[in-house]
Amino acid sequence: SAVISQKPSRDICQRGTSLTIQCQVDSQVTMMFWYRQQPGQSLTLIATANQGSEATYESGFVIDKFPISRPNLTFSTLTVSNMSPEDSSIYLCSVATSGAAKNIQYFGAGTRLSVL
């Protein structure tokens, strides 16, 4: 299994500012992902964070808006840039381990973002 710590757990931000969310895993993992979730709704994949290379973004998400870093196999950050109220959401980090458990994803508790 993997234990994931996300920081901050919640934040209230002003329009036009940026927020960086951190994701720390207690073990080295191959795959790290960032999701967005509206309260009470499903998860939408933003991007796959690749260690040592640029993140792979899903349709509708771009690097300028959601820059991602993955400096090593246990840590990643997601920045929500130039925020607007439409960015208010829950942002979740997840990891997939390798080997026999490669099809299991573990999620952090999420970062609840409100943009005023």
Partner 1 sequence: TQLLEQSPQFLSIQEGENLTVYCNSSSVFSSLQWYRQEPGEGPVLLVTVVTGGEVKKLKRLTFQFGDARKDSSLHITAAQPGDTGLYLCAAFGGSNYKLTFGKGTLLTVNP
Select from 39, 89, 41 the least CA-distant residue to 61: 89
Sheet holding 4-7, edge to edge: 4-7, 19-25, 75-80, 68-72
Shortest distance, CB of residue 5 to partner 1, whole angstroms?
11
Q: Quick check: 34 and 68 in contact, CB under 8 A? A: yes
**How far apart are alpha carbons 74 and 28 in whole angstroms?**
5
Span 53-112, contacts to partner 1 by CB under 8 A: 56, 92, 94, 96, 102-110
Span 1-60, contacts to partner 1 by CB under 8 A: 4, 31, 33, 40-45, 48, 56
Shortest distance, CB of residue 16 to partner 1, whole angstroms?
28
Residues contributing to the site for partner 1 (CB under 8 A): 4, 31, 33, 40-45, 48, 56, 92, 94, 96, 102-110
